[in-house]
Structure 1
């Protein structure tokens, strides 16, 4: 039975079938119809993390001031016009609402049908609500954030029983500069409003939003470059002009780099940065001027921590003799660094291609991704074969359950590691 096709013509019957599938699966019984893999895997995570399928748990709402602060700081504010234009007119007619949440799963914007908004209130789907998967179960906000791809959750595919009258189609929105998750856009409504094409529609608009973010970034760097040109023209030695996030607008006296990792709180004065060593930091409109000292401080890293313990947000932290810095990883970079941590003696491009794609011929893609990783890890990674530099301590923090390791990954090597841990 094709439940997606059935739901399009008879939502009520499809919901009843799914309810039976859910009850049988959660009871450990063999269901005649198996849930879709993305749903079955999510249910498994919920059972392991202790989410109660019979209890509608709601964490505290953010205050109005906190919602306002997050809105002002979120890059999602730049793409709201794109999301509204692409989703709201149809959503309102189809008795849906548009929901935009940040990377923490907090609902920051809700718009659409007033009648459906009231129904959403009854489910706790309110401004400031926490809709992470491990808080409220399988849903169209939290689950796409974990698996990093669009997901439709229909009726009893929701893990928590009280959400079974609802349908959600959510797509992650990532930072086009580095693949970091910045939020999720979701279109939701009563189950009878479900349509198979909704997910593709939401995903298309999410991609338009990412394209808009790329335009905003490039325009910002162009403006900063114009400010930087006369400043750099007067300088001798090595210097860079970067925006507030470390993206490079212009350089002088040194090769171009795409980004410099900055500490979360950077202030003017003499500072140590991983990319430059000792340098002078001076404010510019919209960014920083970084002037490298003639003698670079020792920058030998002593420790790298690869934190994969939180499925929705993986990071790498480098501790050096003169300081430390952290970076959130894209899903692909998290996969590759994990595989290199598993193969400390090194892994060639063909081996990594086999590990990631099941195809040793896809070495061009691997080399491109490794080149991007080396832009921020620098000489901490060696090549031929790819490996962490000798003498660097590497620690991997894995999730409590091996089956939750990089849940968004389809890499054969990672899938084998998850399966081996689940059988242990």
Structure 2
């Protein structure tokens, strides 16, 4: 038995004890125990689970067409072919909400999955069907294997699943989950490392395709910018710079969620004018009255279980951006401490270790490149004159579910349950 695992024969007794608030023969793995705690608070039935109506076929098709993962299906299946075809398992790919968009595998296993509602269009979010590879990986934002009776719902105990999240390398956005499921007694312990590796290869393919598109845009942008006076740059639809003029090198500009032609305030650049290009945007920096460049309102929204946003507003307009789990944690701490936090204090807040200042400074540097007009430093804080609104979930247990930061764990206990 590997260190940190539980003998599979003990899992039913561990589950029964934990669900009955008794002392288990051995503790569950932390990732499983935390998931059980979350879904119990959600009121999921441990015998039958819950469900939501599957998406209609046209909605599934629309989500497939919008998903960057559609281009990876062949590669994902090729990487997992030995498991799916030879080991008689199934492969599923979901979106970021846990909705199954694609599914393939052994016909007999597919029929068994149908009886559990594990079909295309179904949701396997943790809050609906309890602890499972897909839903728990979405919450944890990392690879997860759930073995037999580690599933919260009893009807899932004949299965074991291994899942890994898939992120968009352009902006770190969670795209969905790659999952392999099969009969618990036939599941290979090496499946989780394989699924994780194939997911990383898929992300690498997306990254390579993205840089190819940036190079194509650069070939068009360079001669265009040669005719532009002042400071300007050409970015792709995701804000990655293809060429610049009149200014230093730029990696990526965080664009608003809904980009429109015209004047826009971008936290990293200030007031700009945006003009559409076939594969991106021409961004020209403008001079503006002093007050117009200063944002005066920030809304940090951490109410959702998997997606969190920051919205910045000022006289020049409004800008919103989705946040990574780490940046959501950092901004949450700064919103809770208007007077600011030192690097050591933030390290203690996030890691329980005040010495991890290098990590904190690196993350804050990344955020300040995006939110330059909003964040100050020495100490780290929201800038003077910026009105900050923090939107938290109504239930304490729903506050930044993936986070294990000490400050978040403490605050979960302070919010209503």
TM-score normalised by structure 2 residue count: 0.92
**Cα distance change, pair 303–294 in 1 and its aligned pair in 2 (3 A):** closer
| TM superposition shift of 1:102 | 0.8
- Offset, 1:116: 1.0
Determine the C-alpha separation between the residues in 1 that align with 2:257 and 2:171.
17
Residues 414 and 105 of structure 1, relative CA distance in 2, 3 Å threshold = same
CA contact (8 A) 2:80 2:198 kept: yes
Deviates more, 1:354-363 or 1:342-351: 354-363
Return the match for 1:179 from 168, 172, 185. 172
- 2:282 aligns with one of 289, 294, 297: 289
Equivalenced residue count is 414
Identify the residue that residue 403 of structure 1 maps to in structure 2: 397
2:265 paired residue number: 273
1:413 and 2:411 matched: no
Mark the CA change 1:162 to 1:402 in structure 2 (over 3 Å): closer, same or farther: same
| Greater CA drift, 386-395 or 358-367 | 358-367
2:198 maps to 205
Other-structure match for 2:313: 319
Q: Secondary structure at the match of 1:378?
A: coil
The CA deviation at 1:98 is: 0.9
**Matched-pair contact (CA < 8 Å) for 2:91–2:180:** yes
- 5+ residue gaps, structure 2: none
Return the match for 1:339 from 322, 333, 336.
333
User: Partner of 1:29 in structure 2?
Assistant: 22
1:67-112: CA deviations, max 9, x gaps? 2221221121233233122112322211111111011111111112
CA RMSD across the alignment: 2.3
Deviates more, 1:155-164 or 1:223-232: 155-164
- Cα gap change, 1:143 to 1:5, in 2 (>3 Å): closer
Matches for 1:12-27 after TM superposition, within 5 Å: 14=9, 17-27=10-20
What SS is found at the alignment partner of 1:288?
A: strand
Structure 2: distance between partners of 1:157 and 1:391 = 50
Q: Distance in 2 between matches of 1:194 and 1:79?
A: 24
Mapped partners of 2:144, 2:329: distance in 1: 21
Deviation at 1:24, TM superposition (A): 2.4
Gaps of at least 5 residues in structure 1 are 8-13
2:118 aligns to what? Answer: 125
| Local SS of the residue matching 2:233 | strand
Which is further off, 56-65 or 333-342? 56-65
